[in-house]
């Protein structure tokens, strides 16, 4: 097996075909089913509705087992790629199965709440698939053969060069460079999760220092103007490296952010599903 194949293409779309077959069977059963004359159409209270409900509940519970399977490194029950591919396609097929289970009957109740939570879980999962297919390539292109650690070392080296150069310049230049260095240290390259999501769009002390030094350099002449030019070159290199690091952190944050919604929504769905089942069998 090719371990580098995408989960979307796993085993030539084995689980896509399985999900399509499952949806075709469910739709055929729904169209073929003739409910008792007291009902105008199939819905959750008919034998087909109960059957689809049981199938849906089983699939939801099985899909939640992926989190356990991820931590069973020595498990021989299928590959992690296979589990994830099945998780994606079978999860999306629930949109068809559960909708037909409901008979298109929705209202302000726990049953519709469970349905809405399921849709939100599926949408967040779709974003997760998109993120893991898109952002790894962008991370590779952005980092350009470096590592986060090597970029940080380059930034520190540029800081040392900048502090050495600025010693030959007026106090104003020293203030600009030292203030930018202290501000960057307080802010840190990573920052909060919100700052990571903003990437290189957030306010950058180094970028602002470059602008201030450029304005100051326009007022200087002779050797000081040449030193400012050298200093600006080092500071601009540092700014570029910081932006690359922040973009890297942004891409990685965008790969994780869906889990902030997907996992809690999944457990909320499990709770709503239990309430749905209990209320059906207790009150109906």
Residue whose C-alpha is closest to residue 127's, from 275, 265, 273, 35: 265
- Residue 207 phi/psi, 5-degree rounding, is -65, -40
Q: Token digits for 144?
A: 């350009």
Rounded percentage of the chain residues whose pLDDT exceeds 70? 86
Give pTM, 2 decimals.
Answer: 0.78
Retrieve residue 84's tokens: 């994830």
Determine the pLDDT at residue 10: 75
Per-residue pLDDT band for 273 (boundaries 50, 70, 90) equals: very high
Question: Which of 28-32, 38-42, 216-220, 239-243 has the lowest average pLDDT?
Answer: 38-42
Phi-psi region of 147 (alpha: psi -120 to 50; beta: other; left: phi over 0): beta
pLDDT at 73: 47
Give the per-residue pLDDT at 90: 92
Average pLDDT, the chain: 83
pLDDT tens figures, 70-115: 655 455 555 777 778 888 999 999 999 999 998 888 888 899 999 9
Half-sphere exposure of residue 163: CA atoms within 13 angstroms, side-chain side: 11
**Per-residue confidence (pLDDT) for residue 213, from 0 to 100:** 86
CB of 241 closer than 8 Å to CB of 155:
yes
For 108-124, b/e burial (b = at least 16 CB within 10 A) is eebbebbbebbbbbbeb
Find the mean pLDDT for residues 6-21.
84
Which whole number is the average pLDDT over 217-228?
Answer: 84
The residue to which tokens 């199939």 are assigned:
42
Give the model's pLDDT for residue 76.
Answer: 52
Mean pLDDT of 249-270: 90
Indicate if the pLDDT at residue 41 is higher than 80: no
Binned at pLDDT 50, 70 and 90, residue 1 comes out as: very low
Q: Tell whether the model's pLDDT for residue 140 goes beyond 50.
A: yes
Nearest to 247 by CA among 129, 140, 130, 133: 140
Residue 38 pLDDT: 59
> Does the pLDDT of residue 207 top 90, yes or no?
no
pLDDT above 90 coverage of the chain, percent: 26
Total residues found in the chain within this entry: 284
């Amino acid at each position: 097996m090719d371990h580098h194949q995408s989960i979307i293409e796993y085993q030539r779309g084995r689980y896509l075909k399985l999900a399509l077959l499952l949806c075709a069977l469910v739709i055929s059963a729904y169209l073929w089913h003739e409910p008792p004359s007291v009902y105008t159409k199939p819905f959750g209270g008919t034998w087909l509705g109960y059957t689809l409900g049981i199938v849906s509940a089983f699939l939801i519970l099985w899909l939640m087992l992926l989190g356990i399977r991820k931590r069973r490194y020595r498990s021989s029950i299928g590959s992690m790629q296979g589990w994830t591919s099945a998780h994606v396609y079978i999860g999306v097929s629930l949109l068809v199965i559960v909708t037909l289970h409901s008979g298109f009957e929705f209202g302000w109740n726990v049953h519709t709440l469970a349905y809405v939570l399921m849709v939100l879980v599926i949408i967040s999962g779709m974003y997760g698939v998109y993120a893991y297919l898109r952002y790894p390539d962008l991370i590779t292109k952005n980092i350009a053969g470096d590592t986060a650690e090597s970029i940080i070392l380059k930034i520190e080296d540029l800081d040392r060069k900048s502090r050495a150069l600025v010693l030959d310049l007026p106090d104003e230049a020293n203030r600009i460079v030292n203030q930018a260095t202290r501000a960057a240290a307080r802010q840190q390259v990573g920052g909060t999760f919100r700052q990571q999501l903003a990437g290189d769009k957030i306010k950058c002390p180094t970028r602002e220092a470059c602008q201030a030094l450029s304005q100051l350099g326009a007022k200087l002449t002779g050797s000081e103007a040449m030193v400012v030019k050298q200093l600006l070159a080092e500071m601009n290199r540092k700014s570029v490296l910081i932006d690359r690091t922040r973009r890297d952190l942004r891409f990685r944050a965008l790969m994780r952010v869906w889990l902030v919604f997907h996992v809690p929504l999944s457990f909320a769905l499990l709770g709503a599903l239990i309430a749905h089942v209990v209320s059906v069998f207790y009150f109906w």
